[in-house]
Amino acid sequence: MIWILLVVLTVLGGTAAVRIATNERKKLPAATPKQLSGGGSDTTSLRERGIGEVRVDDIVTIDSKDYLCEGVINYDEDGHRWVAARCVDDKVVKWLVVGLERSGAHSTRLLEQDAETHITGYPPEALVVGELRYALDKRGTATCELRGDVGGLGDLKKDRPEGHVERCRWWLYSAPGDDTLVVEQWGSDYRVLRGNKVGDGVIELMQAS
């Protein structure tokens, strides 16, 4: 009789333990997707962008000096894309051009608008500016999306929505060393951008919040 009583007590004890465990489990809050992720990281945080994805209001650091990106032109030529950012510090304006070449690593150019060099017709095969001779390297035509303050191209944006598109013909020139020059035709107007190719690490991007 004693062993039968022990068996009954064991069965009753096990049943009670299962009931208690079930009740406690019901009290636990349901886990959220963030809790289930394990790392607890916020997947909605901004992805870090490189200078080839610069946007209006980003801060561009050039040789330890900060510039505000006031305008951006996004170029598209048959699927090949590059960007030009108008970077301003007080009265100093620089154009950061990233990814113009189709082949090889995306080069970065730091240019300024050259108001002294005038193009009045179809650009020649070579341009001489000061003591430098620039030879034509590449040319093409791109569809361009204009955003923000694009300086002298502002008339193209007048009374038009942000991000509207324009057509632009372009000519890329090279000189010995890192000197480079870009001619762009917007409508009947030409502009000349002149400067240098720069290496990695010279320019840094702090993206706008």
Domain boundaries, the chain: 51-206
| pTM attached to this predicted model | 0.76
DSSP sequence for 21-78: HHHHHHHSPPPPHHHHTSS---TTSPPPP-GGG--TT-EEEETTEEEEEEEEEEEEET
Residue 203 CA to residue 186 CA, distance in Å, equals 28
Residue 93 CA to residue 145 CA, distance in Å, equals 20
Largest CA distance in the chain: 116
Q: What is the pLDDT of residues 105-127, one digit of tens each?
A: 658 999 999 999 999 899 999 99
Residue 185 CA to residue 158 CA, distance in Å, equals 18
Q: What's the rounded mean pLDDT across residues 67-79?
A: 97
Q: Is the dihedral of CA 126, 202, 96, 50 positive or negative?
A: positive
Q: What is the pLDDT of residues 29-41, one digit of tens each?
A: 444 433 333 334 4
Q: What is the pLDDT of residues 124-160, one digit of tens each?
A: 999 999 999 999 999 999 999 999 999 988 788 778 8
**CA distances from residue 50 to 83, 105, 178, 207 in whole angstroms, order as listed:** 12, 14, 22, 9
